[in-house]
Structure 1
Amino acid sequence: MTWSAFALIFASVSLSALGQTAFKIGVGRGSAPDASVLVKTLDMLLSPMVMLGLALYGVGTVFWLFALRQLDLSLAYPFVAMSFVMVAGSGMLFLGEPVQPTRLIGLGLIVVGLLVMARGG
Structure 2
Amino acid sequence: MRGADFAWVLSGVLLNAVAQLLLKAGASSAGQISLAATSPALWRTATGLAQHPAILGGLACYAISVVVWIVALSRVEVSIAYPMLSIGYVVNALLAWWLFGEDVNAQRWLGIGVIVVGVVLVAHSGSNT
**TM-score of the pair, normalised by structure 2:** 0.86
The answer as to 2:29 corresponding to 1:29 is: yes
State the distance in 2 between where 1:75 and 1:13 align: 13
| AA partner of residue 49 (structure 2) | M
In structure 1, the partner of 2:5 is 5
| AA partner of residue 109 (structure 1) | V
Gaps of 5+ in 2: 32-36
State the percentage of identical aligned residues.
Answer: 30
The answer as to 2:106 corresponding to 1:105 is: no
In structure 2, the partner of 1:87 is 92
Displacement, 1:99?
Answer: 2.4
State the Cα deviation string for residues 69-93 of structure 1 (Å, max 9, x = none). Answer: 1111111111111111111111011
In structure 2, the partner of 1:39 is 44
| AA partner of residue 48 (structure 1) | P
RMSD: 1.6
State the Cα deviation string for residues 24-46 of structure 1 (Å, max 9, x = none). Answer: 11111128x98611111111122
State the distance in 1 between where 2:101 and 2:69 align: 29
In structure 2, the partner of 1:96 is 101
Contact 1:68–1:76 at 8 Å: present in 2 too? yes
Gaps of 5+ in 1: none
**TM-score of the pair, normalised by structure 1:** 0.92
State the distance in 1 between where 2:123 and 2:77 align: 12
